[in-house]
Amino acid sequence: MEPVPLRRYLAANAVALAPSFAGLLILYWSGYLAGRPTLFAMAGIAVVTVLLVQRYLGSLARFARFVGELSDEREPVMPRLSFAPATEELATAAAQLSAGWRRQRASIDNLAASAQAIVDGLPDPLIAVDRSRRIVRTNLAARDLLGRAGAERDLSTMFRQPQLLAAIDGLLETADGNFTSADQAVVDFMLPGPPELDVVAHVRRLPRAAADGSLALIVLHDTTALRRAERMRADFVANASHELKTPIAGLAGFIETLRGPARDDTAARERFLGIMAEQADRMRRLVDDLLMLSRIEQHEHARPDTAIEIDRVLKGVLDLLQLKAGSRKVALELSVEPDLPAAVGDYDELTIVFQNLVDNALKYAKPNTTVRVSARPMGRDRIAVAVADEGDGIPANHLPRLTERFYRVDAARSRQLGGTGLGLAIVKHIVNRHRGRLDIQSTPGKGSTFTVMLPAAD
């Protein structure tokens, strides 16, 4: 225990001794007490008082230390304070006060933590800036997007988009008085990559600055996927219309000619009717494929659940295409590993998948080669069906886009071969619905292998 300062010690002793010494001196001067007994009494009282004062001051010092420790956030043991009256009650009251304070602190900390947890749980990046546009708060998504160093920096070090900064400055300025103007803004901008992102920022001014200085909230919403889907839909409609327009224009042209100049030309009429039938057929194929695609898309989330014997599907497909293979002088070969487990799928849809793949292989195969279709188990719970041709192959840069609607390596050649450009898109959607995978390997000049992996039934 630290010693009591000497001056305080002497002063306390003097205060304690003063009344009894004064009493003894009065008794001595009035003659009631002789000199010796007075001196003895004074000495005795002095010894006892000094002892009591020392213990009293010790108790007070312990009390002071206890209160000090309470405010240091520690939980000290209550000392023994029996020598200083009332200090024990004071110490108990102080201990209760500090326990209450600590409980409140804990619940405030809890509130702050859950508020931050909620903000961090938001999927969109959120940034709060103060009056001078400095970042005062970010959530997890914002830190992922912008890196850690966000706090305390000016927003313009993170975003160089003048429209965004201008919108925020506008809102922060109106916060200084002119409350009639809007308190929110929406800004579209591009966040440079990689990957480059289309972003919509919703900026909102708070009614008044928050405790941490936040005055405006910026929520960023990534619209890249949405924009891409929009673009794809627009492209799709444009492509489909274009594909239909060409045969319609052809038909209209021939009808015109047959009504006019070729009205009495029998040979021309026969030839034109043949071409017209071909064009009509092309339109029918296109409409059939479009309808098929939309039908598959509509129930793509519902996974098929029937056990299908893949060799039956493949035999059916090969029987159907044998004639076409013969006319193109291409051999068709099927090999199915024994004990191949059944696949989980939809018979008709899987037929469409392999019809398209084998049809493509036959179309793009070189004459006098073989198209090989093979099925084998893959791992414990999948089966793989590969369709391999010895054709022209596909340059690698086309592979990632091959399953997009209307995407063709050579559009003129595809049309000439009777293709719609939708076959692989249909294949991809059906395989997706089956929770399977489509793998394309191709070597230009050598050939291509399209492999479909499907879940096996147990």
Ligand X SMILES: Nc1ncnc2c1ncn2[C@@H]1O[C@H](COP(=O)(O)OP(=O)(O)O)[C@@H](O)[C@H]1O
Residue ranges that bind Mg ion, judged by CB under 5 A: 360, 419, 423
Distance CA 330, CA 360 (A): 12
Measured from the CB atom, the residue of 178 and 397 that comes closer to ligand X is 397
Q: How far is CA 188 from CA 140, 143, 161, 200, in A?
A: 22, 20, 10, 4
Measured from the CB atom, the residue of 274 and 400 that comes closer to ligand X is 400
**Could you tell me the smallest distance in angstroms from the CB atom of residue 454 to ligand X?**
19
Per-residue contact track with ligand X, 297 to 336, x per CB under 6 A?
A: ----------------------------------------
**Could you tell me the smallest distance in angstroms from the CB atom of residue 350 to ligand X?**
16
- Judged by beta carbon distances under 5 to 8 A according to partner kind, the member of Mg ion, ligand X, none in contact with residue 240 is none
Distance CA 134, CA 21 (A): 72
**Could you tell me the smallest distance in angstroms from the CB atom of residue 425 to Mg ion?**
10
Structure tokens at 265: 């030309």
- CB atoms < 10 A from the CB of 342, how many? 17
Q: Does 247 bind ligand X (CB under 6 A)?
A: no
**Could you tell me the smallest distance in angstroms from the CB atom of residue 431 to ligand X?**
13
Single out the residue of 448, 453, 455, 456 in contact with ligand X (rule: CB under 6 A).
Answer: 448
Stretch touching ligand X by CB under 6 A, among 291-299, 314-322, 337-345, 391-399: 391-399
Single out the residue of 130, 243, 389, 390 in contact with ligand X (rule: CB under 6 A).
Answer: 389
Q: Which residues contact 8 (CB under 8 A, 6 or more apart)?
A: 57
Q: How far is CA 50 from CA 1, 26, 41, 46, in A?
A: 18, 22, 14, 6
For tokens 């000094």, the residue is 50
Q: For the chain, percent helix, then strand, then coil, each to nearest 5?
A: 55, 20, 30
- At 69, which helix (H) or strand (E)? helix 35-71
- Judged by beta carbon distances under 5 to 8 A according to partner kind, the member of Mg ion, ligand X, none in contact with residue 49 is none
Residues 346-365, interacting with ligand X (CB under 6 A): 356, 360-361, 364
Binding site for ligand X (CB under 6 A): 356, 360-361, 364, 389, 391-392, 394, 402, 408-410, 414, 419-425, 448
